[in-house]
Amino acid sequence: MPEVSATIGAGRYAPSPSGDLHLGNLRTALLAWLFARASGRRFLIRIEDLDRARDAGSAERQLDDLERLGLDWDEDPVRQTARIDAYERAIARLEEQGLVYACTCTRRDILAAPTAPHAPPGAYPGICRDRTPTERAAAAQAIAPRMPALRLRVPEGTEAPVFTDRVLGEVHGDVDDLVLRRGDGTIAYNLAVVVDDAEQGVTQVVRGDDLAPSTPRQILLQRLLDLPTPEYAHVPLVLGPTGARLAKRDGAVTFAELRAQRFTDAGVRALLGRSLGLAAAGEAVTTTQLLGRFDPDTLPREPWTWRPNRSV
């Protein structure tokens, strides 16, 4: 295994404890570990538990599954719910720059509002952006006891960042006045991951390619907060038999369900290794062997389809 260096930072895997990990999650975790270890980076685990839709005990089960897969990490896992103060400091810093405003819009308000020409689908149309203090106070009173959300006031003339992804190549995206803190007090994902990655020394982010469109928003936040931008590698998803993104409806897809059927821990690892072109059919492999064969430039660029009748 390559020597781990603190000087070049870390990679990470950041599951949300909303249920057990399935093959798609495990494959992305394995790739994040391979990318980090192959480059001599540390590997970290972060439990992204800000969303209130959490499954009690799933974080512990997820960590157990990652260990069964053969992954290791260099520090104790961090939980986002223990880092609220760090996120609030980031919001305060943006407020000092005049880049935060209160928003009382519901989803229905946003969908019903006219959008600017050429605005991307779902972009916030700026309903609350230019309200006067009096208008803002009246709007907040109208929704009480619900609290307004806080949005980023994207500076005028800001162009969406373009970034070069390790897997996808050049990626273009959109930015809008994204939510920083929801009306229920929950810190938004885009802000939390930016703050976490910077403070944890993360210099490489490997995650599913469905998250690539949100990356320009995160890069913009990094620039506004004067934080470094890591290397990004958005990897293909795992699909179910119907061609849709893998889900629990596709049968035995979690580690526990696969173990309850015919798969050993080593069998799941071998299956994922084969899906990445790193193991031959019927070959039992260790994570050390997978790491020795790993080359980011030869990874499959297309989604992998899981079919429940695959052999071990």
Whether residue 12 is annotated as binding a ligand: the answer is yes
pLDDT of residue 261: 85
User: Are residues 176 and 136 part of one domain?
Assistant: yes
Which pTM does this prediction carry? Answer: 0.93
Whether residue 5 is annotated as binding a ligand: the answer is no
Show which of 191, 224, 254 is a domain's final residue: 191
User: Are residues 128 and 75 part of one domain?
Assistant: no
CATH number at residue 39: 3.40.50.620
The pLDDT tens digits along the chain (312 residues) read 666 766 789 999 999 998 899 999 999 999 999 999 999 999 999 999 998 777 789 999 999 999 999 999 999 999 999 999 999 999 999 999 999 999 999 888 888 887 665 566 678 999 999 999 999 999 999 999 999 999 999 999 999 999 999 999 999 989 999 999 999 999 999 999 999 999 999 999 999 999 999 999 999 999 999 999 999 999 999 999 888 988 877 777 998 899 888 899 999 999 999 999 999 988 999 999 999 999 999 999 999 999 876 554
Whether residue 87 is annotated as binding a ligand: the answer is no
The answer to whether the beta carbons of residues 238 and 27 sit under 8 Å apart is yes
Show which of 165, 191, 217 is a domain's final residue: 191
When divided into structural domains, the chain yields a total of: 2
User: Are residues 123 and 39 part of one domain?
Assistant: no
Position 286 in a domain: yes
Residue 22, domain extent: 10-80+236-305
Whether residue 128 is annotated as binding a ligand: the answer is yes
Q: Residues 175, 158, 216, 177: what is their CA dihedral angle, to the nearest 10 degrees? A: -30
User: Are residues 139 and 48 part of one domain?
Assistant: no
Whether residue 15 is annotated as binding a ligand: the answer is yes
CA angle 283, 287, 290 (to 5 degrees): 65
Position 196 in a domain: no
Phi and psi torsions of 193, nearest 5°? -70, -35
User: Are residues 183 and 88 part of one domain?
Assistant: yes
Position 63 in a domain: yes
Whether residue 248 is annotated as binding a ligand: the answer is yes
Whether residue 275 is annotated as binding a ligand: the answer is no
Whether residue 105 is annotated as binding a ligand: the answer is yes
Position 278 in a domain: yes
User: Are residues 124 and 106 part of one domain?
Assistant: yes
Show which of 137, 161, 191 is a domain's final residue: 191
Instruction: Give the list of residues 6+ apart from residue 104 with CB closer than 8 angstroms, or none.
Output: 128, 139, 140, 142, 143, 148, 149, 183
Position 293 in a domain: yes
Whether residue 270 is annotated as binding a ligand: the answer is no
Position 208 in a domain: no
